[in-house]
Amino acid sequence: MTDNVFQVEFSLFREVFEGHAIEDDFMIFDNLMEKINPEGNTNPINYNFPIKLDITILVLCTGGIANAKIGLKEISLKKNRLAVIMPDQIFQVTEITPDFKGMFIILKNTFFNTQNYFVEAMTLQRIILQQHYFEIPESFIAEFKVIYNLIKEKIKEKNNYYKSQIIQNYCSILFYNACSIYVLQNSEADIKEKTRKQGIVETFVKEVERNYRKEHTISFYADKLCLTPKYLSSIISDMSGKSAADWIKEYLILEAQALLRSTKMTIQQVSDHLNFANQSHFGRFFKRFTGLSPREYQKQ
């Protein structure tokens, strides 16, 4: 049985949005609202559907508001905020205002290896897992738009053997600029301390993402990080505002919701998939955190 929840793949974006793409690896578009709100409704659009991505998404908001959850972090994407969503993060849009505007860059790892571009920018890589978006100064906004339009024009070019490499380097400029903004806005001492603690949080999050379906206890993850459960819980709580236990529980709830809504799995199968002792235990757990039984949630 697959470990994935409802997975949104690159091909879906190509089918839905009229953008500029290179094969099945890279795409940009800025016509989101034309597709999800073609009638021009004036009320905010509400969603409640957690998904998992196999792609990296960068989006610069140029107007309106989009509220979302990335993993367990709630964010509000407003004008001049650049959000980054990494592969395998559970992502949920909760509300979009009808005046929302954004410039999207969609990347698959086969086109652009995000990890390699962050080798010299570990601070940015870690802060993304905590913050997910950056406040961008006007000078960077102007540069982002220039680079975005350069990418658009470059994609249109025919018979350019180095097209992909050129676009990869345009994208690396955006990543490094975001890192530079963060560094300039924080003191060197603060960055060093935050980086140490964020390194622990990053490792914890990765371990939870790999193991939460089978391992539900803090002690398991503390052993993985060679820390005591108490010390791990203290750092996770300080850095994220949520306890380590809450992170584990909310990942379980997010996937349970996705499986109950987006698959044909029975409640018993979902319970087994998430390694609960029995269906009754799963039902009590689910209702305690959602206010609904699994069956009530399926019928919504």
Comparing 15-19, 92-96, 157-161, the range with the smallest average pLDDT is 15-19
Q: Which residue has the higher pLDDT, 91 or 212?
A: 212
pTM value is: 0.61
Parallel, antiparallel, or unpaired: how do β-strands 45-46 and 90-96 relate?
A: antiparallel
- pLDDT tier, 203 (very low <50, low <70, confident <90, very high otherwise): confident
* Domains of the chain from N-terminus onward: 7-185 (2.60.120.280), 189-299 (1.10.10.60)
- Using the predicted structure, report yes or no on whether residue 187 has a pLDDT greater than 60: no
Average pLDDT, the chain: 80
Determine the pLDDT at residue 246. 87
- Give the number of other Cβ atoms within 10 Å of residue 132's Cβ: 23
Q: How far is CA 128 from its chain centroid?
A: 9
Amino acid in position 118: F
- Using the predicted structure, report yes or no on whether residue 3 has a pLDDT greater than 50: no
- pLDDT tier, 111 (very low <50, low <70, confident <90, very high otherwise): low
State the first-to-last Cα distance of the chain, in angstroms, to the nearest integer.
26
- pLDDT tens for residues 152-173? 899 888 888 888 889 888 888 8
- Using the predicted structure, report yes or no on whether residue 2 has a pLDDT greater than 90: no
Q: How far is CA 140 from its chain centroid?
A: 22
- pLDDT tier, 109 (very low <50, low <70, confident <90, very high otherwise): low
Q: Which residue has the higher pLDDT, 212 or 174?
A: 212
**Distance of alpha carbon 232 from alpha carbon 225, whole angstroms:** 8
- pLDDT tier, 117 (very low <50, low <70, confident <90, very high otherwise): very low
Rounded average pLDDT over 124-132: 58
Amino acid in position 50: P
**SS3 of the chain:** CCCCCCEECHHHHHHHCCCEEECCCEEEECCHHHHHCCCCCCCCEECCCCEEECCEEEEEEEECCEEEEECCEEEEECCCEEEEECCCCEEEEEEECCCCEEEEEEECCCCCCHHHHCCCCHHHHHHHHHCCEEECCHHHHHHHHHHHHHHHHHHHCCCCCCHHHHHHHHHHHHHHHHHHHHHHCCCHHHHHHHHHHHHHHHHHHHHHHHHCCCCCCHHHHHHHCCCCHHHHHHHHHHHHCCCHHHHHHHHHHHHHHHHHHHCCCCHHHHHHHCCCCCHHHHHHHHHHHHCCCHHHHHHC
